[in-house]
Amino acid sequence: MIVVTGAAGFIGANLVKGLNDAGYTDILAVDDLTQADKIRNLADCVVSDYMDKAEFKEKTDNGYLNGKIKAIFHEGACSDTMASDGRYVMENNYRYTRDLYTFCQDAHNRTQFIYASSASVYGAGQVFVESPENELPLNAYAYSKYAFDHHVRQSDRTDTQVVGLRYFNVYGPREQHKGRMASVAYHFFNQYIEHGKIQLFEGSDGYSNGNQLRDFVAVEDVVKVNLYLLKNADVTGCFLNIGTGQCRSFNDVAMAVINTLHVIFDKPQLAYDEAISTGILSYIPMPQALKGKYQSYTEADIRALRATGYDQNFDDVDEGVGRYVRHLWHDYQKTHQIVEQKQ
């Protein structure tokens, strides 16, 4: 049996679907469905069982699941980078993860443990190499991820695979439930559909308007790396950056959204200057709550990932965001057809 925690969430649900596509169906989906809308993410997936995250924790603690689990993909977490309840974040992200890690390393289990860390551990740094001197988290979420990574570093329990994946800015299908924490590609699509224009944050940290740089990575590529690690259990005891290795600007993402929709709507594609002059692209001040906590530049150093033997290419923004926008438009049309039929 394979376990996916956070299975109804963004990356978790895509991972369940990816496992299905690879022939795996004996999957235990673990999540907290207090937010019931997330269940839509699993509607087209096949799992063998579901457990609430509290029940799963109880059964791993009491030995009920000993010897029954081949691998755990631990994607479940409080992912709100602006969360103010540090106790909740640490309990949910650090202690829960630590206890699952202990379960996996137990001699009765020897369970592969592939877990979601985060590029947020690098904070405002400019060097994105998986090493402690480059890490300085800026918020409770980032610290919770950093704290568990540090726990793994200090542990001598490496009897079986443990790999922390430091996701950069992931975008793609099945993130609609995330609200303000959804990707900028998702928000840009919805802004354009609703208002016919897109607003970005003004410049910060020396970057001009919309030219802050991030490593935007398609969720399909994230799934491919996870499945690669499942099949290569000898890759262990490490943290791996998961990004394209090439930063792009928020303006680039916005223009990819605009021009993909313009193709769909049979409109001429625009250059950046045209989008600005027509008001389709504009800028708003950086929210006060984000000042000092905002990563204006990230770019994954993926040499460690490549050193494991992973040689697949990553989609760039134009290809990946273009595909995602077409997916979002398909869903938008389908949803509105259902509403019209009901009316």
Q: What is the DSSP letter of 342?
A: H
Residue 304 in any domain: the answer is: no
Residue range 118-129: average pLDDT?
A: 92
pLDDT at 342 over 50: no
Please, what is the average pLDDT of the chain?
92
Residue 145 in any domain: the answer is: yes
293 carries an active-site annotation: no
Residue 311 in any domain: the answer is: no
pLDDT higher at 67 or 205: 67
Residue 282 in any domain: the answer is: yes
Residues 164, 182 share a domain? no
State the residue for tokens 């269940």. 39
Residues 122, 24 share a domain? yes
Residues 203, 135 share a domain? no
| pLDDT above 90: percentage of residues in the chain | 81
* Closest by CA position to 216, among listed 249, 238, 192: 249
Residues 75, 21 share a domain? yes
Residues 74, 137 share a domain? yes
Write out pLDDT tens, residues 268-326.
999 999 999 999 999 999 887 776 667 789 999 999 999 999 999 999 999 999 999 99
List the CATH number of the domain containing 181. Answer: 3.90.25.10
pLDDT higher at 156 or 148: 148
Instruction: Name all contacts of 43-51 with Cβ < 8 Å and 24+ positions apart.
Output: 44/17, 45/13, 45/16, 45/17, 45/20, 46/20, 47/7, 47/16, 48/1, 50/7
From 53, 59, 178, 293, active-site residue: 178
Residues 40, 86 share a domain? yes
Write out pLDDT tens, residues 226-252.
999 999 999 998 899 999 999 999 999
pLDDT at 338 over 60: no
From 141, 146, 192, 324, active-site residue: 141
Residues 141, 45 share a domain? yes
Residues 208, 136 share a domain? no
Task: Specify the pTM.
Answer: 0.93
pLDDT at 336 over 80: no
Q: Give the number of domains in the chain.
A: 2
The per-residue pLDDT for 184 is: 97
Write out pLDDT tens, residues 152-174.
998 876 679 999 999 999 999 99
Residues 183, 123 share a domain? no
The per-residue pLDDT for 97 is: 96
Residue 210 in any domain: the answer is: yes
Residue 62 in any domain: the answer is: yes
Residues 118, 183 share a domain? no
Residues 254, 201 share a domain? yes
Burial class (CB in 10 A: 0-12, 13-18, 19+), 271: exposed
The per-residue pLDDT for 80 is: 67
List the CATH number of the domain containing 102. Answer: 3.40.50.720
pLDDT category, 192, cuts 50, 70, 90?
very high
Domain region containing 254 = 176-214+247-298+316-342
The per-residue pLDDT for 341 is: 46
178 carries an active-site annotation: yes
